[in-house]
Structure formats: C-alpha cells, structure tokens
Chain A
Amino acid sequence: MKPSVRIAALLTVLVTAACAPQTSANSSSAEDDKSGTLRVWLFQEVGNDPKQKVVDSVVADFEKAHDGTDVQVEYIPVDTRAQRVKAALNDPKSAPDVMEYGNTDTAGYVKDGGLLDVTEEFGSWAETKNTDPTARGSVTVDGRIYGAPLYVGVRALYYRTDVFGELGLTVPKTMAELASTARKVRAAKPGLYGLVVGGAYTYGALPFVWAHGGELATGKGGSYASAVDSAAARKGITAYTSLFGDDNCPAAKCAGMGGNDTITAFAAGKAAMAIGGDFSHTAVEAGEVKGKYAVVPLPGVTAGSVAPAFAGGNNIGVLKSTSHRTLAVRLMEALASKRTQARLFDAMGFLPTFTDVREAAATRKPYVKPFVDTLAAGTRFVPASPAWSQIDSQLVLPTMFQEIVSGRKDVAAASGEAARKMDAAFGSVG
C-alpha cells in the first residue's frame, strides 16, 4: 500500500508543479490584412510540372487582380504531409494561409482546430451550385463547410479485353456475375487471378458493402455508430471475402495485398480483372496490358446498377490562423474554380468536382467516361468524423477482411469485433 501512495503523491507533485504538457494557442486570427504575403501548400505529385504550370498561371492572375499581394506556393511531399500539417497546426506562425489536404482528413483537421469555417463564402460563390453532393459532403463537418473540393478520385472495374474475347466471356452486369466470371477465368487460365482483390484494399472492398445496402456507420455529426455488423453489411463483406480462394485469388497471396498491389498485378498481366481508380490509368498504361484492357463501372447487385464507389480526392482549405482571411478565401476559390479544375484535368487527369466541368472533361478524354459514369451513379464517403483517421491507422477494416479470408473468424465474429473497435474510436473523440 505504502509505495503506491508515495508514488501517487510524487506524481501529483510532478503534475501540479509542471502543470500540463505543452499546448499552442491556435485561435483564429483577428487580423484581416488586405495585402502582403500569402503562403500556399500544395501536394507534390509524381510528375508535378504540369500541375505547377497551371497553379503558376492562377497565381499570376490572382496577384494581378489583388494589388500588393505576393503568393508563395510550396509543394510538400505527399508521404510526409501528415507531419508537415501537424507541425503547422502546432506552430501557427509557420503555417500556410491556404493548403491542399486529403478529403478523409477534413474532420480530423477541423477537430484539431486547423481549418477555417467558410460556410458563408462557399454559399455565396456562384460556381458551387454545380458541386456534386459527395464532394460537398467531403468538406462538410456538422453542417459547416471547411474548404473547397479540388478533385475527386473514384474506382471502377478494369478488365482484359483479350482474355475475355479468347474465353468468350461477356462483361459482368451484376456482382454475382462478376464473381462467376472471375472463377471462369481462373479455371481456364490457372496462371491468372480472375478478379484480383486485396485483404488490405479497403476502398476496393467498400463498394461491395455499399452495393448490398450496408453502411460503415450511421448517424450524423459528432455521434456515429458503427454499422459494419448489420445484416446488409455482412452480406457485402461475404460477397467480397468469398472472392479469396484458390478458385479466384488464393488467400495466401491476396490476403496481404493492398490497392497498389492489385493494380501492379493487373498491369503486369497477372489478372483478368481489377478494381482500379482513374488515378491508376497511368500505371496500367505503362504496364504490359496497354491496349488490351477496358474499364466499366463496377456492377451493382441488380443488372444495370452501379456499385457505389468511394469518392476519394483532395480539397483546398484556409487555415484558421491566417491573418489574410478575405484574400485567403479568394485564393482558395481561384485555386478550386471551374476554370482551374478543367485545366488541372487536362494537365494531370484530376477529375473535376463540378458536374458540368466533369461532363465536358469526359468528352475531351474518353478514358474517364466510366469513372464519370460511376460518379454520376452516386458515390459514398467515409464517416465525417475525426475518429476515421484512428480507425484507418488502426487497420480496423483490413484486419476484419484478413481475419475472414484467412479463416480465423467467421463474418459475424470479425464484423462484430470491427464494429466494437469503430464504436470505441467514435466514442473516444466524441
């Protein structure tokens, strides 16, 4: 008893003496300078030059239109962006005024106190009447808007036209046909995966859950509750995990794969089908299968329907600590405008978040048509909760899929465990 009392006393002394760990004051700035230097952080893409050219001309126009402003753009590497943004939030003095961020991070950055509420400006900005609803959802937390969508990324079904032609197969119209077609390919060509799937490929698996009527979580705003163990979600999980096996994609090899691994396998000609994004186009074109494949929207449960895809992508936001509120918001609008998005699409292939701009883009470059169709059929987004980053980094969903495909747990047990962990995460941030 005595030692623990002594330790407790010691700890109390230490804690009261030193108070709490360090915290930086990150309240919004009261200043609103109408001139001066604006700092912008954008992601450094692979082959960044075309993006830089578009941004440079947007910035030049902006500086011409606003006398006495100097815009400094910095490209930050995608790999280390989390650290950079954390550092910026910890030290508002070194933070940029405007930054690009992944749309799954929105809720987290809002909770961290980093992003500025731009609901009024977004509402009065004429172009946003064409913003697609999922993109709007990806900048919305608790009904308030914290940025402007810059581009979306979405996944669809890549398939090998030569293999399908040789085996006399038709493009699957439902999820059930998708599975049976995949098994037919594997049976005829044991060296190929029918449909290459990955146990760690969350965003490839989620369309199966959504297509069967399942949800990741239900609720709005601060209070989410996990729904991955609902009957509908379990049906989707079963559909996805049944694709792992010697008759399509052996668990020993596919259980550990992530999204990139499946695209690599498809591009190398080791799979007849894969679920890949518009952003995978370049990688597949550079592979052995160039000219021997086509893309269609991932089929849903009923014939003619499209499985809802995850709408990934990036947004542009203004940081709370900016001392140039008006200018920074205007710069955000310039960087995420219809004109800029159309030019970024031509330069980088980033899919615009405005429906009309996207339609126009699809007529210019037909390869994005299946992705635009997928977007038009309706997309989904992860729960807009800061808990999502925790659920993501704790690998809750990959662990669930891997437990099932490796035979450790059945669907009910694994999804129940995943739901418990998700609820714990939602609870801890609430």
Chain B
Amino acid sequence: MVAHDTVTVEKRPALSTAQAPRRRPRGAWTPWLYLAPALAVLAALLGYPIYQLGLISLFRYTQAQVSGGEPTVFRGFGNYADVFADDRFWQVLLATVVFAAACVLSTLAVGCALAVLLTRVRAVPRLALMLAALGAWATPAVTGSTVWLFLFDPDFGPVNRVLGLGDHSWTYGRYSAFFLVLLEVVWCSFPFVMVTVYAGIRAVPSEVLEAAALDGASQWRIWRSVLAPMLRPILVVVTIQSVIWDFKVFTQIYVMTNGGGIAGQNLVLNVYAYQEAFASSQYGLGAAIGVVMLLILLTVTLGYLRLLRRQGEDI
C-alpha cells in the first residue's frame, strides 16, 4: 500500500507540468470547485438574508402585509426617503458614530493596557485578573446593564454614597447617561481585546523584548515601537470587531436609559430603528435603516483595511 502511494505521488507532478498549458481552461475553474461548499454556505447564511433585507426595504411591508390583511405595495426608495427626511435620524446617526468611536477607543485602551499588565504580573494576580475579565465577558448584557444601573442608582446606589453625591441622577443629563453606558460597554467588551492581545504578546519572541529592555526602552516605548507593530494584525481584527459591536449596541442603551433616555437624548441607531420601525411592525422602514447601517459599517471596515494596505500591511 505504502509503496503504491509513493509511486502515484511521484508520478503526478511530472504529469501536471507536462500537460499544464493545454489544461488551463478547465484548471481555472478548479479553485471555484473547491470553494463551492463554503460559498454555498455563505450565500445561504449571509447573502440571502441581506438580499431579503434589501428587498423588504423597498416595500410598504408591515404586519398587515405579512399576515395578508392588505396587499404589499412597492415603494421604490420611499422608505429610504422617509428615513433621510427625518431630522432625528441624522442626530441619532451623529450620536451613534461619536459614541461608538469613544467606546472603541476606550475598549482598546483598557484592553491593551490590561493585556500588557497581564504579562508583567505573577501567576496568582494574573489568574485573578483573567477570571474577573472572563466573568465580565460571560455576563449577559441585560444583567450587566441592570447591575451597572443599580450601582449608579440615585437612591440606593453605592457609587453615589461613596462619592458623596447625594441623590444625583446619572441618567438625567445626556452626556452623563452616555458616559454611564460607555462604562458598561467597555466593561463587557474589554475582555475580548485583552485576551486576544495577551495571546498575541505571548507569541512575540522574548529575545526581541529582551533586546528592547537592554537598550533601556521604557514600557510605553516597548509597546509603541515593538509590540504594537508586531501585533498589528491582531489589533486590526479587534478594532474592526469593536467598531461593529459598538456601532450596533442595543441592550445597554435600551436597558440603562429606559429605551433611549429622557426625550430620546440617548438614542443610538439600533434602538432608533427598533422604536421607529420594528416595535410597530413597520418592517419595510426598519429594513431600510438596517441597509443604511450595513452600508456604513461596510464603508468603515473597507476604508480602514484600505488605509492599512496603503501603509504596506499585508492583510
């Protein structure tokens, strides 16, 4: 058996090199053949829902249409026109972009700082930090939000008592409410960044770090000039992940600001879409908002990747 196998393996390269030029046309399809199963799965799981989303966004499609009470009406880009004509949409979009950016930056800063810290401490504190982070990671968003809200409760919360703020309400002001939500978002998403970056740091050869240390580089300098460039691919992935997560934040805002805050001051796009459209079964309008979000996220992600590629990164 073994001998037979070896023979065929030896024969094949000779065959293919000899006949390669003539077989080109058929060979060009071979990669697609191998990719077919993956593409089929992707098309079914990703392409079809997006196609449906786009399709629904062109219709007047509410519960009455779904259940057959009224005929489905084609509106062209009417739903998009409705969305873009609403002043509130633009305010919410701006708030979402700024809030998501703040969340991404804070999450990355906290996650990376703690990842570096993990490499510098002994086993016991490292284990404690890891467990604490994993606990935060594993907590469901609704639970986490409720607990944070309780911590900052004007009447019963320990934070006000410790800081001596009396019955100051954190959710009344627009920025303090956003700040409170930001804390919760960072708290529940930094562990992913921390664990991933920590794994990346572990994979960096210790000689490089040793050399930098011998040259007298400070901790900050090592991070900036040695670790960050070497961890770039990992940082790119966690950044994109964070951008997508934080742009789509729903639960935290919905729970902590009671569905968008006083007079809707803390609305972000997802909550806005839910209130304007999905909660009252206006699926067409909701789908239009969904498509707009999808396009924004795609633009941001592709723009970011392109920027990196221009800087000579092979990603």
CB–CB A26/B67 < 8 A: yes
Is residue A291 within 8 Å, beta carbon to beta carbon, of the partner chain? no
Is residue A37 within 8 Å, beta carbon to beta carbon, of the partner chain? no
Q: Give the docked Cα–Cα distance between A390 and B280 (Å).
A: 5
- Distance in angstroms from B27 CB to nearest chain A CB is 31
Contact of B74 among A20, A26, A90 (CB under 8 A): A20
- Per-residue contact bits, chain A 392-430, to B (CB 8 Å; 1 contact, 0 not): 111100010011001010000000000000000000000
- Chain A residues, Cβ within 8 Å of B67: 23-24, 26, 86, 89-90, 112-114
CB–CB A22/B66 < 8 A: yes
The answer to whether A113 and B64 touch (CB under 8 A), given A21-B59, A252-B172, is yes
The answer to whether A393 and B69 touch (CB under 8 A), given A20-B59, A255-B262, A256-B262, is no
CB–CB A18/B55 < 8 A: yes
Is residue B61 within 8 Å, beta carbon to beta carbon, of the partner chain? yes
Q: Which 9 A-B pairs have the closest CB atoms?
A: A113-B69, A393-B279, A89-B67, A26-B68, A390-B280, A402-B263, A252-B172, A252-B169, A403-B263
Contact of B275 among A15, A27, A389, A395 (CB under 8 A): A395
- Distance in angstroms from A66 CB to nearest chain B CB is 29
Mark B residues whose CB is within 8 Å of A: 51-52, 54-56, 58-59, 61, 63-70, 72, 74, 154, 167-169, 171-172, 258-264, 275-276, 279-282
- Distance in angstroms from B25 CB to nearest chain A CB is 29
Contact of B63 among A20, A112, A251, A392 (CB under 8 A): A112
The answer to whether A114 and B69 touch (CB under 8 A), given A11-B58, A21-B56, A393-B279, is yes
* Count of chain A residues with a beta carbon within 8 Å of a chain B beta carbon: 40
CB–CB A90/B172 < 8 A: no
CB-based nearest B residue for A91: B67
- Chain A residues, Cβ within 8 Å of B276: 394
Count, A-B residue pairs, CB within 8 A: 102
CB–CB A21/B74 < 8 A: no
Is residue A111 within 8 Å, beta carbon to beta carbon, of the partner chain? yes
- Per-residue contact bits, chain A 31-73, to B (CB 8 Å; 1 contact, 0 not): 0000000000000000000000000000000000000000000
- Distance in angstroms from B269 CB to nearest chain A CB is 15
The answer to whether A21 and B260 touch (CB under 8 A), given A90-B67, A108-B63, A252-B172, is no
A-B contact pairs, 29 of them (CB 8 A): A15-B55, A20-B74, A21-B55, A23-B67, A23-B72, A24-B67, A26-B67, A26-B68, A90-B66, A108-B63, A111-B64, A111-B69, A111-B70, A112-B63, A112-B67, A113-B67, A113-B69, A200-B258, A252-B172, A253-B172, A255-B172, A258-B258, A389-B281, A393-B279, A394-B275, A394-B276, A394-B280, A395-B264, A399-B263
CB–CB B264/A256 < 8 A: no
- Distance in angstroms from B307 CB to nearest chain A CB is 23
Contact of A14 among B55, B65, B280, B281 (CB under 8 A): B55
Q: Give the docked Cα–Cα distance between A24 and B63 (Å).
A: 11
CB–CB A21/B172 < 8 A: no
CB–CB B264/A399 < 8 A: yes
CB–CB B280/A112 < 8 A: no
- Chain A residues, Cβ within 8 Å of B68: 23-27, 113
- Per-residue contact bits, chain A 87-106, to B (CB 8 Å; 1 contact, 0 not): 00110000000000000000
Q: Give the docked Cα–Cα distance between A253 and B168 (Å).
A: 9
- Per-residue contact bits, chain A 1-35, to B (CB 8 Å; 1 contact, 0 not): 00000000001001100101111111100000000
- Distance in angstroms from B2 CB to nearest chain A CB is 55
Is residue A317 within 8 Å, beta carbon to beta carbon, of the partner chain? no
- Distance in angstroms from A345 CB to nearest chain B CB is 32
- Chain B residues, Cβ within 8 Å of A14: 51, 54-55
Interface residues of A in 254-290 (CB under 8 A from B): 255-256, 258
Q: Give the docked Cα–Cα distance between A23 and B60 (Å).
A: 12
- Chain B residues, Cβ within 8 Å of A199: 262
Contact of B263 among A86, A392, A406 (CB under 8 A): A406
Interface residues of A in 208-267 (CB under 8 A from B): 251-253, 255-256, 258
Q: Give the docked Cα–Cα distance between A112 and B280 (Å).
A: 12
CB–CB A389/B264 < 8 A: no
Q: Give the docked Cα–Cα distance between A251 and B169 (Å).
A: 10
CB-based nearest B residue for A199: B262
CB–CB B262/A20 < 8 A: no
Q: Give the docked Cα–Cα distance between A24 and B70 (Å).
A: 10
CB-based nearest A residue for B63: A112
- Chain A residues, Cβ within 8 Å of B260: 395
Q: Give the docked Cα–Cα distance between A399 and B232 (Å).
A: 45
CB-based nearest A residue for B170: A252
Q: Give the docked Cα–Cα distance between A112 and B61 (Å).
A: 11
- Distance in angstroms from B237 CB to nearest chain A CB is 31
Contact of A253 among B66, B154, B279 (CB under 8 A): B154
